[in-house]
Structure 1
């Protein structure tokens, strides 16, 4: 949700289904005054919600930003959706920060992941 410059390049792990995802896809306006601070606050808030599992973020070179929030159950997602500060940030986003956006919410029924095993490091060739 924030500018994510220092976020690790690892996806959120695969969880045992079912769980929920909220996929927020947006194109921002040129004026981003206050955006970073508000996003940092939103990340603080969402982490405190019981049932929040994590977040993935990506941005295309053309400016399309995608944030995927993961929630253990519908109640956790509902708590986030109805949070008073989050609602105020949404209104400000519509008024100032977003040219357009979509939100898709889905129940995950299947999930798996993969991590490549690191090759053992041998002595340098020489």
Structure 2
């Protein structure tokens, strides 16, 4: 989705299950006019959905994009699916931006995480 190279690389935290994950995997076309702006708008819009928990992105060198969006419950996911502005972006995506895509929705039953603690750097000896 958007280029997050300026932001710290941190995955969405592990939440207490159950919650839902929507996995959107894409291959994009060469035609990308308007994609970045629409993508940025969708990322802002989804934050207004009650029950939205966060989003992770990855892009392979070969061109496969993966976005995983997390929602507290099925109602939150349905509200996002049915949002009119989101629906319009989906339609434009099928017409212009995506060669192919898949969407998988899963109920998360187990979740855990790890973050390495920062190690204090002492003075170097020499």
For residues 7 and 120 of structure 1, what CA distance do their matches in structure 2 show?
22
Which runs of structure 2 are paired with 1:1-126 in the superposition (5 Å)? Answer: 1-126=1-126
For structure 1, the 5+ residue unaligned runs are: none
The list of structure 1 runs, each at least 4 consecutive aligned residues, that deviate by more than 4 angstroms after superposition, is none
**CA displacement at 1:14 relative to structure 2:** 0.2
Q: How many residues align?
A: 126
Q: What is the CA deviation profile of residues 63-84 of structure 1, one whole-angstrom value per residue up to 9, with x for unaligned ones?
A: 1000000000000000000000
For residues 117 and 66 of structure 1, what CA distance do their matches in structure 2 show?
28
**CA displacement at 1:8 relative to structure 2:** 2.6
Q: What is the CA deviation profile of residues 77-103 of structure 1, one whole-angstrom value per residue up to 9, with x for unaligned ones?
A: 000000001011001000000000000
Normalised by the size of structure 2, how large is the TM-score? 0.96
**CA displacement at 1:57 relative to structure 2:** 0.1
Q: What is the CA deviation profile of residues 37-59 of structure 1, one whole-angstrom value per residue up to 9, with x for unaligned ones?
A: 10111111100011000000000
SS of 2:99 mapped into structure 1: strand
For residues 7 and 121 of structure 2, what CA distance do their matches in structure 1 show?
27
CA RMSD of aligned residues (A): 1.0
For structure 2, the 5+ residue unaligned runs are: none
For residues 121 and 91 of structure 1, what CA distance do their matches in structure 2 show?
51
Normalised by the size of structure 1, how large is the TM-score? 0.96
